[in-house]
Amino acid sequence: MAAFAPVMSVAHANSPAVNLCIKMGCEKFLKKYFDHILVLRPGSSLLIDIILEIAPRFIQLMPRTVWMFVQTIVGIDATSHMNPARMAMMAKNDVGGTGIINLLHWLQLIETKRFGPYRRDMSKPLVDYDITKMTKNLANTDLILFVGENDALSQDKDVQLLTSVLPKGKFERINVKDYNHLDYMWAQDSDEKLLKPFMDFMAKHM
């Protein structure tokens, strides 16, 4: 099994945009006005259809400007690895099917510095995931973890917490120089940086 930008705890996440969002209380805004929107589904409303039509064109016209903004969320690289041709897909929710509940969950994990399910009912206390289940489930699984040096959402201390609960001797960690959280998908040098160690890992465990 391969994990790109592995995330468990995000207690040490250092995303400028996300930290600013938390300080401004934008989770309240998201919950109040966008809680019913899970995906930008074509035909669901005129506004969403307009967004879906305009967003890819805007990205194609100004890919570097858009990428600079995205990096304030996912981590800032010293050198851009971005392939502009791969970016238009971002405009149509193709990236992980991210929805409002997922965004709120991320904000909760970063703000509380705890690793647990999303708290839908604010009157109930936070609970944590049972990490021992993950350790048990992965006991017979060989893993390779690709960790970006500039990944704002998968910081070294948090990755160390993850590896501390993985079965000993069952995982390899590859540190990817000057990569942020999304370079794995959109970088023009991803084949060069990721493919060889991944294929070597697969060959070893086939």
Mean pLDDT for the chain? 84
Report the predicted TM-score, pTM, of the whole model to 2 decimal places. Answer: 0.80
Per residue in 84-98, pLDDT (tens digit) is 777 766 666 555 556
Looking at residue 47, what is its pLDDT? 73
Q: For residue 195, give the DSSP letter.
A: I
Pick from 97, 98, 84, 193: nearest CA to 147:
193
All domains of the chain, ordered by start, with CATH? 2-205 (3.40.50.1820)
- The Cα–Cα gap between 145 and 147 comes to 6
Q: What angle do CA 200, 203, 206 make, to 5 degrees?
A: 145
- The Cα–Cα gap between 16 and 39 comes to 25
Q: Which of residues 176 and 87 earns the better pLDDT score?
A: 176
Tokens of 3: 């994990």
Q: For residue 88, give the DSSP letter.
A: G
What's the mean pLDDT in 71-80? 92
Query: Residue 116: which residues within 8 A CB-CB, separation 6 or more?
Result: 109, 126, 127, 128, 129
Q: Which of residues 50 and 124 earns the better pLDDT score?
A: 124
